[in-house]
Amino acid sequence: MAVHGQFTPVEKRVLSIQSHVCSGYVGNRASTFPLQLLGWDVDVVNTVQFSNHTGYGRWGGYRNSAEVLRDVLDSMAQNKILAQAHILTGYVPGAEALAVVIDVVRKARKENPDLVYLLDPVMGDQGKVYVAPDVIPIYRDMLNLADIITPNAFEVELLTGVRITSLSTLHTALKLLHTTHNLPHVIISSLSLPPFALPSTPPSSSSDPLLYCISSTLLPTSPPTLRVHAITFPEIPGYFSGVGDLFSALILAHFSAPSSPTTYVSSSALPPTMDRLARAAELAVASVQAILIRTQQAASGTEGTDDELDAKDLERRVKRMRARELRLIQSKREIEDPPVVYRAVPVAFDALDGVGPAGETR
């Protein structure tokens, strides 16, 4: 129930600060519909306003300045509509705009120590950085504000300086994230490792390459330990935009509150080796895979990715991007009731040697 125009902490209400496109599904457009389907009110602040995502090679619009973002958020605060118990942030264009986000999160945390902040540190993918160089150290500094982060593998490497090529280097990167920045929860949305590097339970003999989703929770043991799970799933071929934004929204929805009686499992009801983060990852992966399969099927017959041909013929690229927009609306059922096929499997790591309970080196 709202009191004096403010939202009580128990309400399923989230402040989502991300990009916006008029057509297609990335940023807030990829996040809002799934969150609302799962019973959340979503207060949206757009960091950019584009006609379509930049993968088209042609777009119009603008990036909101730090001043515009601050004006929007300050006005929300003055009207007592900036009291959400959950914050989700994605793509933010530049260091000055990120400073505004940091200020908002700190103020929200001061007002509500139980705030849940999910940070998706959108910086790049597959070896390509698409933010300014001065943004990366700011994201590193933001890690200690977050409760959950959802980077892809390349972003983990940017944040930690560790190239993930094995189980050992994965362990090192997770330890750095948890202990250097006192991060409670980390989810690596997609990670490619050599076959059999991690527990694998694929339900079929698919010939597609396998990817891993890694969930990791820092346990308050002495010394601290990690509870890590891996979900193995087949990579769905094709170029898709907005997948990380969709995934982060689903993680927040399933982790933070009962999304629906059929999907939510309380901590007390989970098996001893499972936790809410791993369960949220199972549900998120299930919905995302189903949406990608539907999107791929809808785009069948469209020409495949070919950077050289795209460079010669922009209309070819635009047509391909239009065909591969996520089929979110058509996947309502799979969002509300995720068809879980790929299960979270525990990954055993040793205790974090030499690390104090607050995440500080002894």
Beta strands per DSSP E along the chain: 13-21, 41-50, 61-63, 86-89, 116-119, 124-125, 128-129, 148-149, 185-191, 210-219, 225-234, 344-347
Residue 259, pLDDT above cutoff 80: no
* Percentage of the residues of the chain whose pLDDT score is greater than 70: 83
Q: Which of 52-56, 210-214, 267-271 has the lowest mean pLDDT?
A: 267-271
Q: Tell me, what's the pLDDT at 201?
A: 54
For the segment 5-18, what is each residue's pLDDT rounded down to a tens digit?
454 544 789 999 99
For the segment 180-223, what is each residue's pLDDT rounded down to a tens digit?
999 999 999 999 987 666 765 555 556 678 999 999 999 988 88
Q: What is the mean pLDDT of residues 252-276?
A: 64
Residue 20, pLDDT above cutoff 80: yes
Q: Where on the phi/psi map is residue 208: left (φ > 0), alpha (ψ -120 to 50), or beta? A: beta
As a whole number of angstroms, the distance between CA 219 and CA 217 comes to 6
For the segment 88-119, what is each residue's pLDDT rounded down to a tens digit?
999 999 999 999 999 999 999 999 999 999 99
Residue 134, pLDDT above cutoff 80: yes
Average pLDDT, the chain: 87
Residue 271, pLDDT above cutoff 80: no
Give the predicted TM-score (pTM) of the model: 0.89
Neighbours of 86 (CB within 10 A): 26
Q: Which of 149-153, 231-235, 307-311, 315-319 has the lowest mean pLDDT?
A: 307-311
Burial degree of 272 (CB within 10 A; 0-12, 13-18, 19+): exposed
Residue 22, pLDDT above cutoff 90: yes
Residue 260, pLDDT above cutoff 90: no
Q: What is the mean pLDDT of residues 135-160?
A: 96
Q: Tell me, what's the pLDDT at 312?
A: 77
As a whole number of angstroms, the distance between CA 21 and CA 30 comes to 10
Half-sphere exposure of 233 (CA within 13 A, CB side): 27
Q: Which of 3-17, 147-161, 285-299 has the lowest mean pLDDT?
A: 3-17
Q: Tell me, what's the pLDDT at 5?
A: 43
Q: Tell me, what's the pLDDT at 4?
A: 37
Q: Which amino acid, residue 288?
A: V
Q: Tell me, what's the pLDDT at 1?
A: 33
For 18-38, letters b (16+ CB in 10 Å) and e give: bbbbeebbbbbbbbbbbbebb
Q: What is the mean pLDDT of residues 46-72?
A: 95
Q: Tell me, what's the pLDDT at 303?
A: 67
Q: Is the Cα torsion angle 272, 276, 279, 281 positive or negative in sign?
A: negative
Q: Tell me, what's the pLDDT at 354?
A: 42
